[in-house]
Amino acid sequence: MLERYFVRPVTVDRIRSSWIGPLVEQYVSWLSERGYAGRSVSRWVPILVRFGDFARRRGAADWDQLPDHVEPFVKTWISERTTARMPALQRKKVGECVRNPIQRMLRLAVPGYTGLGRSRKPENPFAERAPRFFDYLREEKGLRDTSIQHYRHYLRQFASYLQRIELKDVEHVSPAVLSGFVADYGQRVARSGLRNACGALRVFFRYLHRQGVLKKDLSKVIEYPQPFRLSGIPRCISWDDVRRVLELVDRRTPTGKRDYAMLLLLVTYGLRAREVAALTLDDFDWRSDRLRVPERKAGHSTAYPLSAVVGDALLDYVKNGRPQTRDRRLFFRAMAPCLPIGHAAVSARAGHHLRKAGIRVARAGSHTLRHTCVQRLVDADFSLKAIGDFVGHRAPASTQIYSKVAIEALRQVALGDGEGVL
């Protein structure tokens, strides 16, 4: 495998002669399987060999002893290759560029080694008092994993607040503490986010009371923020802006081919980012020109006629941009490791291209294009029921907000008595 990245035999022999040579070669094979670029492998291997020599000089005799020498090696590397006048952030990046390949290699060789990664947040911040809360959400309430993730997020926020006020046990939570959290959290999120957090806490404290952890049911003291129905306006853009976004996508690169196809799916069918990320090759019937979107938010699936423009963009990506893999998922990361793209990345790429086109919109992302799709259907005089079915709304109330952007109908109301519209 080393011969694939190093042309000179003497270089390959020098790598293999290192006492960690077998480990380095194993790591190179691991990188190759995951599609890492050759220039990255060629840059990392010399660092690994130097790390092995450094650890040997410091007395390391076994691979299990290598983790003790990672940070000393990184500090030595930074001191030898940077100056005191260099900004601290830049020095930190130099250290990360050296530390990351070493840590990845050691994770293959040393069981249980994790290194200095990002600290992982607990899956259940209240596991001691409510160890089966998420099982309750899944089994008794029938929630999906995506909904349970929202509960986990809000409970982590609440646990963080309890830690800041030095309250160690949820058993000591009082109505005043809950009010303090709502006031604190409400300053950092939108009204809808605060409402969702209150809803999650209500379910959580009702569960604690049912399990006997709390003597009183505190769920009743958590007050929802006052909702204002249909108070907002969907964040959509004009069709001319859509054309400008699509025209600026560089479709000569694999990333551009992928992003162009994703943007077309978002704006043509009004799909959610999660639905785009979940698409597989099996969801397309090329003979019948049909697209199937399974497991939508409302729990149903939808079949669409496959637009010729969307179909051409998808074929271009599959043939010329999609990495070679046995995975049936449609969209993949453009950089190693070769993994399916997530819903957050779909929204991030949509926001990136909106900003690149100079389009200013609140919370630019995939939902901007979804709202634009609905706006175009409203302008074409489709009924709200038909629009809701097309974009996969669970209830008609979800579509009513778009009645505020029915510009032509509203103009008729303003110019006349409105009886024809009503």
Question: 320 in a domain, yes or no?
Answer: yes
What is residue 411's predicted lDDT score, i.e. its pLDDT? 57
What is residue 393's predicted lDDT score, i.e. its pLDDT? 79
Judge whether 269 and 373 are in contact, CB under 8 Å: yes
Question: 125 in a domain, yes or no?
Answer: no
Question: 144 in a domain, yes or no?
Answer: yes
Q: Which two structure tokens, joined as six digits, stand for 340?
A: 């399916």
In the annotation, is 367 catalytic? Answer: yes
Domain shared by 215 and 302, yes or no = no
Judge whether 94 and 81 are in contact, CB under 8 Å: yes
Backbone angles phi, psi at 62, to 5 degrees: -145, 155
Q: What percent of the chain has pLDDT over 70?
A: 91
CA 249 to chain centre: 21
Catalytic residue among 69, 202, 371, 393: 393
Question: Does the structure show a pLDDT above 70 at 229?
Answer: no
Separation CA 403–CA 109 (nearest Å): 60
The letter for the amino acid at 283 is D
Domain shared by 246 and 201, yes or no = no
Range(s) of the domain holding residue 147: 133-221
Catalytic residue among 297, 333, 343, 404: 297
Separation CA 302–CA 211 (nearest Å): 40
Q: What is the pLDDT of residues 341-369, one digit of tens each?
A: 999 999 999 999 999 999 988 888 998 99
> Is residue 101 left, alpha or beta, with left meaning phi > 0 and alpha meaning psi from -120 to 50?
alpha
Question: 51 in a domain, yes or no?
Answer: yes
Question: 231 in a domain, yes or no?
Answer: no
Catalytic residue among 272, 322, 371, 376: 272
**Helix, strand or coil, per DSSP, at residue 268:** helix
Question: 234 in a domain, yes or no?
Answer: no
The letter for the amino acid at 115 is G
Mean of per-residue pLDDT scores for the chain: 87
Question: CA torsion, points 164, 168, 174, 175, in degrees to nearest 10?
Answer: 30
Question: 337 in a domain, yes or no?
Answer: yes
Sheet containing strand 302-305, edge to edge, reads 284-285, 290-293, 302-305
Q: Which of 277, 164, 148 is nearest to 200 (CA)?
A: 148
Residues in the chain: 422
Comparing 256-270, 312-326, 391-405, 408-422, the range with the smallest average pLDDT is 408-422
Domain shared by 168 and 59, yes or no = no
The crossing angle, in degrees rounded to 10, of helices 254-269 and 366-379 is 40
In the annotation, is 69 catalytic? Answer: no
Separation CA 5–CA 41 (nearest Å): 7
Question: Does the structure show a pLDDT above 70 at 46?
Answer: yes
Domain shared by 307 and 203, yes or no = no
DSSP 332: B
What is residue 371's predicted lDDT score, i.e. its pLDDT? 87
Domain shared by 178 and 262, yes or no = no
Backbone angles phi, psi at 293, to 5 degrees: -110, 100
179: domain CATH number is 1.10.150.130
Separation CA 160–CA 362 (nearest Å): 28
Judge whether 337 and 34 are in contact, CB under 8 Å: yes
Q: 421 pLDDT band (50/70/90 cuts)? A: very low
Domain shared by 243 and 217, yes or no = no
Catalytic residue among 69, 152, 322, 370: 370
In the annotation, is 402 catalytic? Answer: yes
In the annotation, is 393 catalytic? Answer: yes
Q: Which two structure tokens, joined as six digits, stand for 363?
A: 């919370």
Q: What is the pLDDT of residues 114-165, one digit of tens each?
A: 877 665 677 889 999 999 999 999 999 988 888 899 999 999 999 999 999 9
Catalytic residue among 257, 296, 367, 371: 367
Separation CA 230–CA 404 (nearest Å): 8
Question: 124 in a domain, yes or no?
Answer: no
What is residue 386's predicted lDDT score, i.e. its pLDDT? 85
DSSP 305: E
Domain shared by 337 and 212, yes or no = no
Domain shared by 258 and 348, yes or no = yes
Count: domains in the chain: 3
